[in-house]
Amino acid sequence: MTIPNMITIMRFVLVPAVVLAMLNMRWDWAFAGFLVAGISDGVDGFIARHFNQHSQLGAYLDPMADKLLLVSVFVVMGFIGELPLWLVVMMVSRDALIVFAVLLSSVMSHPVEMKPLFVSKANTAIQIALAAVVLGELAFGINLDPLRPALIILSGVLTVTSAAAYLVAWLRHMSGYGEGSTPGT
């Protein structure tokens, strides 16, 4: 158990705290929890890289913690009407389809090594920015228009683009096209 893994596990524990704060309309606490999760994500990555504390467990846990937090925050924001439901449904559906594709590949004895595509990293960055903007607006009682609508549209476009890119890569992998290559390479 490395220090970065312990920090990542702390991020898992933060998820229900952030969700509970949001459901109780404690936007200050929700924003603070989201901010702590974001900072801790950077810290665990820094420690892993600079102090040679990489681990296979961390390689799986880190993106799972990020995705759990983002999906949870987006679902609650959609539920309370702070984000459009179409965006939340697109985000959750994209992630579910990726997980389904990876599982199906494994079941069919043709496992796919998932490496994040650039468009997926951009999508995640925009989703984080959108969540932070909405939580910040609610926590501080400010309005950041036209930033929120622009991030919503950009997040929607990147979600669809990312889903399409992963689908194409997965279909190529499953059909044997470019045998030896993996999605994201």
Does the pLDDT at position 116 exceed 90? Answer: no
Q: Residue 82 pLDDT > 80, yes or no?
A: yes
Q: What's phi and psi for 170, nearest 5 deg?
A: -65, -45
Res. 160 pLDDT band, cuts 50 70 90:
very high
Integer Cα distance of 32 and 116 in angstroms: 27
Q: What is the largest CA-CA distance in the chain?
A: 53
Distance CA 139, CA 95 (A): 28
Joined tokens for residue 5: 């893994």
The string of pLDDT tens digits covering residues 161-183 is 999 999 999 999 999 865 554 45
Q: What is the average pLDDT across 104-114?
A: 90
Amino acid at 37: A
Say what the pTM is: 0.91
Token pair in block for residue 113: 């090594």
Given this model, what pLDDT does residue 176 score?
85
DSSP H helices in the chain? 3-23, 27-50, 56-79, 85-107, 118-140, 147-175
What percent of the chain has a predicted confidence (pLDDT) above 90? 89
Residue 185 has a pLDDT of 38
